Amino acid sequence: MKKILFVILLVLFFASSVFAHPPTRIEISYDKSTSILTAKITHPVEDPDRHYVSKVDVAVNGKEILEHKLSRQDNADYRIVTYLIPDVKEGDTISVEGYCSIMGKKEEGIKVK
């Protein structure tokens, strides 16, 4: 009986991991005139209340300046976040890292022009 229960738990564990995945894409834009950073984090899921982008980190030139924890995803395909990021200069690199609530993360960056 213990073996059967163990096998069932093992199958359930691996089955949930199969459906977990990191965000697939992050599109970043920065408007120098308003100092607004916008990131569209693509993360297609079936249930955005339970499987979602759970955290977003923003870094400028490799130094983390913002950590935003989230409790759900707006829809089943993506999450859009917008932040005021002052004091960014031409040539600076802004990176955005999106975390899945179950497993994995994705990072993308842009150089400010």
DSSP letters for 54-84: EEEEEEETTEEEEEEE-S--SSSSEEEEEEE
Where are the domains positioned within the chain? 2-111
Q: Region 80-96: what's the mean pLDDT?
A: 98
Which residues is 69 bridged to in the sheet? 55
- pLDDT for the residue numbered 2: 73
CB atoms within 10 A of CB 104: 14
pTM of the model as a whole: 0.82
What pLDDT, in 10s, does the model give residues 36-64?
Answer: 999 999 999 999 999 999 999 999 999 99
Q: Which fold does the domain 2-111 belong to in CATH? A: Immunoglobulin-like (2.60.40)
Q: Region 62-87: what's the mean pLDDT?
A: 96
What pLDDT, in 10s, does the model give residues 3-42?
Answer: 776 656 555 554 444 467 899 999 999 999 999 999 999 9
Res 106 pLDDT > 50:
yes
